[in-house]
Amino acid sequence: AQTVTQSQPEMSVQEAETVTLSCTYDTSESDYYLFWYKQPPSRQMILVIRQEAYKQQNATENRFSVNFQKAAKSFSLKISDSQLGDAAMYFCAYRSGQGAQKLVFGQGTRLTINP
Amino acid sequence: DVKVTQSSRYLVKRTGEKVFLECVQDMDHENMFWYRQDPGLGLRLIYFSYDVKMKEKGDIPEGYSVSREKKERFSLILESASTNQTSMYLCASSFNDRDSYQPQHFGDGTRLSIL
């Protein structure tokens, strides 16, 4: 079975600075997706960024980028120019590229932005 | 815009009660999911369904059942509620992957307390 591990329960960063959230995963599959989701206090789960395992290029979405290290099974999220609205729980998630489309989530990292 | 609606934002029930959590999506999605969210554990999959009247166990199905009589509605049932089922419950839905990846869309969650 696949597992996802986020080893940082909490992180904090100064506004406008850069922060990196860590995620490792374990799988024997070669075809899969990796995601970062954001859950603000409103509880709405928001997809931040997606990475397909077959793509070597790291995904980017505006201020959000990932460092995808397939051999090391590592998938970190970098948030540049942090803003107060980035404060949230961040979840790393895995999905197989075949079969059922269920997500496997990590434990979550609570990110605090200090003004 | 995709809408996944969970019937209650907060719910308080007593031990031994039969509890129904309802989820409705308006996008004709084939797949629907129920996750449970607990601090330090992230989200864990309880059950999912890929078609009407079809269901599959997730990682933590014990103590739960589901019903999908109509495509747009997926109900989670706690047959005899217990205090260890106090949690946040999140519903999600998605299309089947066709030529490309299809994202999951989440509801706002139901915070369930069992007294």
Mutate which: B6, B48, B101, B104, vs A, most A CBs within 10 A: B104
Nearest CB neighbour to B104, from listed A91, A103, A107: A103
Q: Which two tokens stand for residue B98?
A: 């066709």
- Given the structure tokens 């308006």, which residue do they identify? B26
Mutate which: A33, A39, A101, A109, vs B, most B CBs within 10 A: A101
- Residues in A closer than 8 angstroms to B58, CB to CB, are 102
> What per-residue confidence (pLDDT) applies to B6?
96
Alpha carbon separation from A4 to A96, B2, B47, B55, B72 (Å, rounded): 12, 27, 19, 24, 30
Mean predicted confidence (pLDDT) in A72-98:
96
What is the residue-averaged pLDDT of chain B? 94
Tell me whether A41 touches chain B (CB under 8 Å): no
User: Residue B2: which pLDDT band, with cuts at 50, 70 and 90?
Assistant: confident
Question: 3-state class of B28 per DSSP?
Answer: coil
Mean predicted confidence (pLDDT) in B87-94:
96
B-chain residue closest to A104, CA distance: B44
> What per-residue confidence (pLDDT) applies to B99?
65
B-chain residue closest to A108, CA distance: B42
User: Residue A60: which pLDDT band, with cuts at 50, 70 and 90?
Assistant: very high
Polymer length in residues for chain A: 115
Mean predicted confidence (pLDDT) in A64-88:
97
Question: 3-state class of A78 per DSSP?
Answer: strand
The identity of residue B66, as a single letter, is V
Tell me whether A107 touches chain B (CB under 8 Å): yes
